[in-house]
A and B are shown apart, each in its own frame.
Chain A
Amino acid sequence: MKKTLIYRFLNSKLTREELKELHDEVNRNEGDVLKAIEEDWDHFVSEEKIIWPEKHWELIESKITPLNKEDQSANVFRLHWWAKVAATLLIVSSVWFAYKSYDQPVASTDDSPSMITEVNESNQPSIVVLKDGTRVTLTAHSSLSYYENFNLKYRVVHLEGEAFFETDQANTRPFVVISDNITSICRGKEFSISAFRDSEEINITLASGQIEIAQNDRLNSENNKVAVTSCQRYSFNKSNQQYLIGQISDCEYNDKVRSMKKQASENIVML
């Protein structure tokens, strides 16, 4: 009854009595009308092709993108003296804390190391989608583990075998991949790491961004860190403990990823 009233109203077909009835309904039985709207949505098929201007999205985007710090800095100077002291303390302590946590072996920043492990036992690559939306394409016989409470500052994962990573927020929340005796802090969106236990070499390839690489026990020392940038491959030889850095071409990386993904397309795991 109510639904037909609503439709008749929308088509301007109500009689005076019906209008009165509908007027009562919308002002007294909100719940019923809401329910009718919901049900209508479930069956709703737009009759026309809506052209939704791009500028609407741009407006949304501009509102959800974090603001520049300029506006905030203007306010800081209006703070009371005690707030200034508090802010200074906070800044000092957070810098100290950040420094400490950066300086420690990164893998152990997690206190409760309960790990989730995904093993690809098949002969085909598989795609693993991590909680943060990162897609990891795992090649055959590889495994990937990460802590249940995915660290906020660093996203720490352990890798055995080979994997291709596609991730976001690479700059603010770097990926830390620990594989064999190499740890990589990855600030790139797309990179691959190949570290099979029985292979002589560990290879790290970066499509874009930046990666810092170090042997596990030497992460703290700046001297032993190697920086790899876009379109480079880092190869570490386990027997002589030496590394090489070489250039790769864009398409070389992309071709490989594409063929891997194609094979993996039916093998998706959501963690």
Chain B
Amino acid sequence: MNHPEEERQLIVRLKAGHQASFGVLYSKYAPVLFSFSRKYLRSHEDAEEIVQEVFLRIWDKRDNIDENQSFSSYVIQAAKHRIFNGFRKKVNEQAYLDFLIHADDPSGNFTQMDVEYREIKIKAEKAIISMPTKRQEIFRLSREGGLKNKEIAEKLQISIKTVENQMGQALKYLRDELSEYQILILLFLISGFK
């Protein structure tokens, strides 16, 4: 970018397994990639995760880097599928939400309870969608998949502590988001969530 020759030299060193050169490239490109990913994923945590994964991959595959190509384009080559997948997920979620909001009961006969239920469901779904991917996954496994914390930890190969932590944050967040509804109804509905 600014100093192509210097960058080329850094890449050559990186290919030779020099960690400090990798560090220089990392500190230059990680923040940009983070900012870019966050724009597409709308999530701080998800963007951070992408940056870390991408750079670890770049390190693992350092032999394949072409030092005559700009490092910037190499970074996006390594990152684009992850960003795309996150972005697609956001679009799909939004589309699902849209479907929920507009899915009319053909009979047109709503009881007061139906209306309220649907309202809460849409609100809850909106809130769940806006959580970071990891937390969302854990939450859904727990509430929709009916798994216990221990089972989730095993399935995702993370510690129980992390699961508990994430669940706690998810529930607190939902409580805040849905504070206008009575807590009892909320808990009942969330745990029986489809």
User: Is A37 at the interface (CB under 8 A from chain B)?
Assistant: yes
Interface string of B91-103 (1 = CB under 8 A from A): 1101100100010
Given contacts A44-B36, A48-B35, are A64 and B19 in contact (CB under 8 A)?
Answer: yes
User: Which of B9-17, B120-128, B152-160 participates in binding chain A?
Assistant: B9-17
Interface size class of A (residues with CB under 8 A): 35 or more
Q: Which residue of A lies closest to B5 (CB)?
A: A268
CB–CB B31/A50 < 8 A: yes
Interface string of B58-99 (1 = CB under 8 A from A): 010000000000001100100011011001101110110010
Interchain CA distance A129-B84 in the complex, whole Å: 38
Quick one: which of A26, A44, A65, A168 contacts B91, CB cutoff 8 A?
A: A26
Secondary structure type dominating chain B contacts: helix
Of the stretches A52-60, A218-226, A247-255, the one at the interface is: A52-60
B residues 20-49 touching A (CB-CB < 8 Å) = 20-23, 26-27, 30-32, 34-36, 39-40, 42, 48
Asked if B172 is at the interface of the complex by the 8 Å CB criterion, the answer is no
Are A46 and B32 in contact (CB-based, < 8 A)? yes
- Cβ of A159 within 8 Å of any chain B Cβ, yes or no, is no
Given contacts A44-B32, A132-B16, contact A22 B84 (CB under 8 A): no
Q: Which residues of A contact B102 (CB under 8 A)?
A: 16
**In contact, A26 and B12 (Cβ under 8 angstroms):** no
Is A34 within 8 A of B40, CB to CB? no
- Complex-state Cα separation, A27 to B22, whole angstroms: 35
**B91 and A131: CB pair below 8 A?**
no
Chain B residues in 8 Å Cβ range of A113: none
Residues of chain A within 8 A (CB-CB) of B56 are: 60, 63-64
Interface string of A20-52 (1 = CB under 8 A from B): 101100110010011001101110101110111
Interface contact B36-A56, CB-CB below 8 Å: no
Q: With A59-B52, A60-B56 known to touch, is A30 a contact of B21 (CB < 8 Å)?
A: no
From A46, which residue of chain B is reached at the shortest CB distance? Answer: B35
Instruction: Say yes or no: B52 contacts A56, CB within 8 Å.
Output: yes
Separation of A109 and B148 alpha carbons in the complex (Å): 61
Bound-complex Cα distance A132 to B90 (A)? 43
CB–CB A270/B9 < 8 A: yes
* With contact pairs A33-B87, A270-B8 given, residues A57 and B19 touching in the complex (Cβ less than 8 Å): no
Within 117-140 of B, Cβ neighbours of A (below 8 Å) are at none
- Main DSSP-derived SS at the A contact region: helix
Q: Which residues of A contact B35 (CB under 8 A)?
A: 44, 46-48, 50
> Please, how many angstroms separate the alpha-carbon atoms of A46 and B90 in the complex?
21
* In the complex, chain A residues 97-139 whose Cβ is within 8 Å of any chain B Cβ: 129, 131-133
B8 touches A37 (CB 8 A): no
| Cα of A44 to Cα of B83 in the assembled complex, Å | 14
Assuming A50-B34, A168-B18, is B12 touching A9 (CB within 8 A)?
A: no
B48 and A56 contact, CB distance less than 8 A? yes
CB distance from B138 to the nearest CB of A (A): 21
In the A-B complex, the 9 residue pairs with the smallest Cβ-Cβ separation, listed nearest first, are: A133-B13, A50-B31, A46-B35, A23-B95, A52-B31, A41-B76, A132-B16, A26-B88, A133-B16
The 30 sampled A-B contact pairs (Cβ below 8 Å) are A6-B87, A9-B91, A10-B39, A20-B95, A23-B95, A26-B87, A27-B88, A33-B87, A34-B80, A34-B81, A38-B80, A40-B36, A41-B36, A41-B72, A44-B36, A51-B31, A52-B27, A52-B30, A56-B30, A56-B48, A60-B26, A60-B56, A60-B59, A64-B59, A131-B12, A133-B16, A168-B16, A168-B20, A169-B16, A270-B8
